[in-house]
Structure 1
Amino acid sequence: MSAKRLYLYTRFERFWHWAQTLLILVLLVTGFEIHGSYTLLGFEQAFTVHNFCAWTWLVLYAFIVFWMATTGEWKHYVPTFVKMFEVIRFYAVGIFKGEPHPVPKSERVKHNPLQRITYLGLVSLLVPFQIITGFLYYYYNQWPTMGWNWALEPVAVLHTLGAFGFLVFVIVHVYMTTTGHTIGAHIKAMFTGYEELEPHDKSRDEEPRQYHV
């Protein structure tokens, strides 16, 4: 029996997903070089590339927020604790026993409760935190004209901590992409837009009413 296919990810959604992926990776590489962790491009070039990617991401981020607000996609990120424990148990134990996912994907439920909280925290907390500390870092030379007598080191440390937060997210996210019914199913979906469900997955029929948006 062939797997069912659901069209869940639009072209723009796939575009900003991979664009953000590239920007985050380049920002991490150049950022840690600016921090002095290693030498790859050279400080000046790393600084230039880092700032270009940062401004590019800021513009992309604005488009993403606008897109979510105008298309109603924001509803997929509304946090919920319904079946949260079941999802955590699934990734900790059930997935290794071949159990079905407690919150299967559907057109109305793209993300399970654990994903919702993670993505919401990323978009509403970690990204703004990194933007603010990045701006403070970037405009350090203008601090005196604004009457700020802060030390640069605390801002640099906070910005670096934010970078480590993104690094952890990338590592966990890459691992989670391998947890589909095949190791590359989720990655493939972000190229084609179609999520392939296992033959026994009856998400369309058994979608929990609590998740309707």
Structure 2
Amino acid sequence: MTRKPMKKIYLYTRFERFWHWVQALFIFMLLLTGFEIHGTFGLMGFAKAVSLHNLLGITWIILFIFFIFWLFTTGEWRQYVPTTKKLFEVIRYYSSGIFKGQPHPVRKTRGAKHNPLQRLTYLGLTAVLLSLQMLTGFLYYTYNDWKAWGIDGFLDLGVLAAIHVLCGFAILAFVIVHIYMTTTGHTLTAHIAAMFSGWEEVEEGEVESWEVHERT
């Protein structure tokens, strides 16, 4: 199938690219130290792994707060507003259409960088999975303060640890799928290159009104 003409647009700001790669580094290091803490392998030793894991976790939480602040002060939170419009078309594309050379049903624009499936995924990742992971990690880290805070009576350390570990595996699963999805652009490295330069080639064509979200 013949592809439509492509045009290059500036899609990702410097901060978005900075946050993406910094968060990727933090997730990688947290997974690495987390697996070491659980005895999966031994690279730096248990004590060093715990110290580094705690430091990375607290720093990540602080950066995450700045990211949320940035989302709401710039209006970029609109990129994550969920919609069911064309959702099933996107699912059908990734399940079969992509293997037949069919065009993506939703074109990227500066005002709408994420398709409906991405919006739901990233919203769930940011608002639920990462937030839960950070909350359980922080509570685990501050276990010795529970009694002083008056929360030791209704929190269970074992349950908290289990949730934290499950969230870690869920994040790992997301990373694996995410890396695969970066290879599904018009070239193998198109999406990855865009996250370095900010510029991405997209198909030309009209977009529907619901796909455009202007900043206010």
Interval containing the TM-score (normalised by the shorter chain): over 0.9
Select which of 168, 173, 178 maps to 1:163: 168
Pairing 1:1-213 to 2, within 5 Å after superposition: 3-147=6-150, 148-149=152-153, 150-197=155-202, 201-203=203-205, 206-213=206-213
CA deviation after TM superposition for structure 1 residue 126, in Å: 0.8
1:114-151, Cα deviation, whole Å (9 max, x unpaired): 00000001111111101111112111222344451554
Unaligned stretches of 5+ residues in structure 2? none
Aligned-residue identity in percent: 56
Unaligned stretches of 5+ residues in structure 1? none
Q: Counterpart amino acid of 1:80?
A: T
Query: Equivalent residue of 2:27, what SS?
Result: helix
Q: Counterpart amino acid of 1:119?
A: Y
Separation in 1 of the partners of 2:174 and 2:116?
17
Q: Which runs of 4+ in 1 moved over 4 A?
A: none
Provide the TM-score with structure 1 as the length reference: 0.93
Separation in 2 of the partners of 1:24 and 1:155?
19
Separation in 2 of the partners of 1:5 and 1:157?
45
Provide the TM-score with structure 2 as the length reference: 0.92
Separation in 2 of the partners of 1:137 and 1:36?
18
CA deviation after TM superposition for structure 1 residue 212, in Å: 2.2
Do the aligned partners of 2:33 and 2:53 also contact (CA within 8 Å) in 1? yes
Do the aligned partners of 2:185 and 2:191 also contact (CA within 8 Å) in 1? yes
Aligned length: 208
Q: Counterpart amino acid of 1:202?
A: E
1:164-185, Cα deviation, whole Å (9 max, x unpaired): 1110110010010000000100
